């Protein structure tokens, strides 16, 4: 049973517009969430995170929103740039637990010039 779901395998947006990547989770024990970005032939790199005590966290062009009641989070990228083209993974964990992360299957973002 998939505990972290990214239902859109791919997303295509125009440069300068907003990219919105979505993630849903089923385990109500999850209280810490992360987004990773992965380029081809490289390892994933950490992008931004949010704890369940917040509903929004911003870092430059990247903002993560958390809706605990809906068990849903989203990553907004504004404005999108061609260099943002990558696979984005959502991950979740239980704070105070084993530090293990549960990953979604990823969404491939393509930003067209």
Interface residues with another protein (CB under 8 A)?
A: 6, 9, 32, 34, 41-46, 49, 51, 89, 93, 95, 98-101, 103-106
Q: Between residues 100 and 113, which has the closer beta carbon with respect to another protein? A: 100
Q: Between residues 71 and 105, which has the closer beta carbon with respect to another protein? A: 105
Q: What values do phi and psi take at 82, rounded to 5?
A: -55, -35
Q: How many helical (H) and strand (E) elements, i.e. helices and strands, does the chain have? A: 0, 11
Bridge partners of 109? 11, 86
- Residue from 90, 103, 87 nearest 11 by CA: 87
Q: Between residues 27 and 49, which has the closer beta carbon with respect to another protein? A: 49
Q: Between residues 83 and 100, which has the closer beta carbon with respect to another protein? A: 100
- Cβ 71 to another protein shortest distance, Å: 18
* Measured distance between the N- and C-terminal CA atoms of the chain, rounded to whole angstroms: 38
Bridge partners of 67? 72
């Amino acid at each position: 049973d998939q505990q972290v779901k990214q239902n859109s395998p791919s997303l295509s947006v125009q440069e300068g517009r907003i990219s919105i990547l979505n993630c849903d989770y089923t385990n109500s024990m999850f209280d810490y969430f992360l987004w990773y970005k992965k380029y081809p032939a490289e390892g994933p790199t950490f992008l931004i995170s949010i704890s369940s005590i917040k509903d929004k966290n911003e870092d430059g062009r990247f903002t993560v929103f958390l809706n605990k009641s809906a068990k849903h989070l989203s990553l907004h990228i504004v404005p999108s740039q061609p260099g943002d083209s990558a696979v984005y993974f959502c991950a979740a964990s239980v704070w105070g637990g084993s530090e293990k992360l549960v990953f979604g299957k990823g969404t491939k973002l393509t930003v067209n010039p």
